[in-house]
Chain A
Amino acid sequence: MIETRQLTKRYGGFTAVDAITFKVEPGQVLGFLGPNGAGKSTTMKMLAGFLAPTSGGATVAGFDVESQPLEAKRALGYLPEGAPSYGEMSVREFLDFIADVRGLKGEPRYARIDDAIARLHLERVLEQPIDTLSKGFKRRVGLAGSILHDPKVLILDEPTDGLDPNQKQEVRTLINSMARDKTVIISTHLLEEVHAVCTRAIIIAGGRILADASPSELEARSRYHQAVSLTATNVNQAKEALGKVADVAAIEVDPQDGRITAFPKPGRSIFVAVGDALKAQGVEVRELALEAGRLDEVFRTITQGAGGKEART
């Protein structure tokens, strides 16, 4: 479990993290979203015990990060931004070092190291110096180090950054497979990742929490939620047909690909009505889709709304 109370970090006059309070339960995967410089990494660094909070506090697995730092660090697996590791060591030496620091001994030690190697597919590169590995492998080595002691709490700062699409998918599967009994926080710039792994998302900007909801709840805030989009052979005829549907609030045509989107009035569902109207008017429709909502649009709306406040600091 992770809990923060009014967690704050100030650098001189600049407030990087501004009185953030949240709680993550075991089994939850929390996605930290926000523009660059929003305070995501600073928050994670405070949770990991690297930076001391200016005020407020946090507990990791029930241990206060300031007064019980060693206990908190033992319960925590942390992947810093950029997944740093000691370049001159081989992958095996690095994992051995982490196992030593974590106090893993005897049979469990070998089991844990083998498990981490297998989960991140590091068998081929075990004896290579980390410096000679590709960016994707370096990141996986860092991840292997952070899950080595099977921690109750995992904090991963941009775990899939720099990976190719296949590797991203593997890491997401890995996080999902470990999430059942763990408390996980990941930060990411990729909104599709929120869908793929997170049960909950917090959007922060300017050091404040702007939204805290499940990914589908966030999507529901989108203008596109419940909207209907289609492509038709005759755009004008389709627009005309859509205009006659009572619950349609607005119609937009994408100037690039001619895709038409009809937005419903608040709280109304228009999918069936639109289908009927198009059929009645005899509009030739090539494709018709109900939109779930667009996270990127919600993200932009929420974070840019806070842009004015951010510019002040």
Chain B
Amino acid sequence: MSGTLTIFKRELRSYFATPVAYVFIVIFLLLAGAFTFYMGGFYERGQADLQPFFNFHPWLYLFLVPAVSMRLWAEERKTGTIELLLTLPVTMWQAVLGKFLAAWAFIAIALALTFPIWITVNYLGSPDNGVIFASYLGSLLMAGAFLAIGSCLSASTRNQVVAFILTVVICFLLLLAGFPLVLDAISAVAPQGVVDAIAGLSFLTHFASISKGVIDLRDLIYFVLMIVAWLYATAVVIDMKKAA
């Protein structure tokens, strides 16, 4: 466990060693604000809740999370530090988990910095803070799932741009898995059971129910399983790619 923690600390500190972290946080906060107030009609709705704020999170994450995850392993492979890291006395799983958790914590920090909007709705009215808390939780879980996908794809290439694009595409497909755009294409070739299974993978449906304040165990399990599965795939991909 101490191996995970050591790697976690090193990674998290390295985010803040360069301006990239600050640029990311500022852009995240600006976009989150702009979506909420201009496109979400925060004031016009006349309701004291954060629905317009959370509604845009999946789309915000679609581009910003891959920007964080793209360097996770691609950079280690490019600079050769992966050989240093994996010959230190840590297990593969500790390395994968430590790096993932650091990136997740970084996004959690960015997400936590949106707290003024929570204060704002409480000032303007009396929102259901339980729902807002659940939404934050759901948002963070969804970011973790995006990140785990990005981690796996970052491990598959030494080119960060390729990692970024692949992650955006796969996350986009998973976001829309419950929608006609994806389902129509699949239903043409696959039986109904497969179509239903794929529809059940949609990020948006799972996130929507959490953000309505309904913390269903199935939605939590969905995101946790998603994270575990993609991290496992990360470890497998690293092992396969080491030889090349």
Residues of chain A having any CB pair with chain B under 8 Å? 11, 45, 48-51, 69-70, 73-74, 76, 78, 80-82, 84-89, 93, 97-98, 100-103, 129, 142, 145
Q: Which chain B residues (90-116) contact chain A, with CB distance < 8 Å? A: 90-91
Q: Contact partner of A101 among B79, B81, B89, CB < 8 A?
A: B89
Query: From A77, which residue of chain B is reached at the shortest CB distance?
Result: B87
Chain A CB within 8 A of B126 CB: no
Are the C-beta atoms of B83 and A73 separated by less than 8 Å?
A: no
Given that A100-B6, A101-B3, A103-B2 are known contacts, is A85 also in contact with B81, CB under 8 Å in the complex? yes
Contact A84 B10 (CB under 8 A): no
Assuming the contacts A11-B243, A97-B6, A101-B3, asked whether A86 and B81 have C-beta atoms less than 8 A apart, the reply is yes
Complex: how many Å from CA A102 to CA B89? 7
Known interface pairs A97-B6, A100-B6, A103-B2; A85-B243 also in contact (CB < 8 Å): no
> What's the least CB distance linking B18 to chain A, in Å?
6
Given A51-B242, A97-B10, answer yes or no on A80-B18 (Cβ-Cβ < 8 Å): no
Tell me, rounded to whole Å, the shortest Cβ–Cβ distance linking A131 to chain B. Answer: 10
Q: Binary interface profile of B, 9-43, with partner A (CB < 8 Å = 1, else 0)?
A: 11001100110000000000000000000000000
Are A80 and B14 within 8 A (Cβ)? Answer: no
Number of interface residues, chain B, beta carbon within 8 A = 23
Judged by a CB distance under 8 angstroms, whether B1 is at the interface is no
* 8 Å CB contact of B84 from A69, A76, A80, A93: A80
**In the assembled complex, how far is the CB of residue A195 from the closest CB belonging to chain B, in whole angstroms?**
29
Shortest CB distance A138–B (Å): 11
Residues of B within 8 A of A82 (CB): 80
| Chain B interface (Cβ < 8 Å from any Cβ of A) | 2-3, 6-7, 9-10, 13-14, 17-18, 79-81, 83-84, 86-91, 242-243
- Within the complex, what minimum Cβ distance (angstroms) separates B211 from chain A? 36
Output the nearest chain B residue to A103 by Cβ-Cβ distance: B2
B84, closest chain A residue (CB): A84
How far is A77 from B183 in the complex, measured between Cα atoms in Å?
Answer: 53
Going nearest first, the 5 A-B pairs with the smallest beta carbon separation are: A84-B80, A80-B83, A73-B89, A88-B17, A100-B6
Given A97-B6, A103-B2, residue A50 in contact with residue B88 (CB < 8 A)? no
Question: Are A74 and B89 within 8 A (Cβ)?
Answer: yes
Question: Does the CB pair A45–B83 fall under 8 Å?
Answer: yes
- Are B14 and A102 in contact, with the CB atoms below 8 A? no
Q: Is there contact, CB below 8 Å, between A86 and B89?
A: no
Partner of B88 from the list A51, A101, A129 (CB cut-off 8 Å) is A101
B85 → chain A, closest Cβ, in Å? 9
Closest CB in chain A relative to B54 CB, distance in Å: 33
A49 to chain B, nearest CB (A): 6
Contact, CB under 8 Å: A84 / B6:
no
The answer to whether A73 and B2 touch across the interface, beta carbons within 8 angstroms, is no
Q: Which of B7, B10, B84 has the most CB of A within 10 A?
A: B84
Judging by beta carbons under 8 Å apart, are B81 and A84 in contact? Answer: yes
CB pairs A–B below 8 angstroms (25 shown): A48-B83, A48-B87, A49-B86, A50-B86, A50-B242, A76-B87, A84-B80, A84-B83, A84-B84, A85-B81, A87-B79, A88-B18, A89-B10, A89-B14, A89-B17, A93-B13, A97-B6, A98-B88, A100-B6, A100-B10, A101-B3, A101-B6, A101-B7, A102-B88, A145-B84
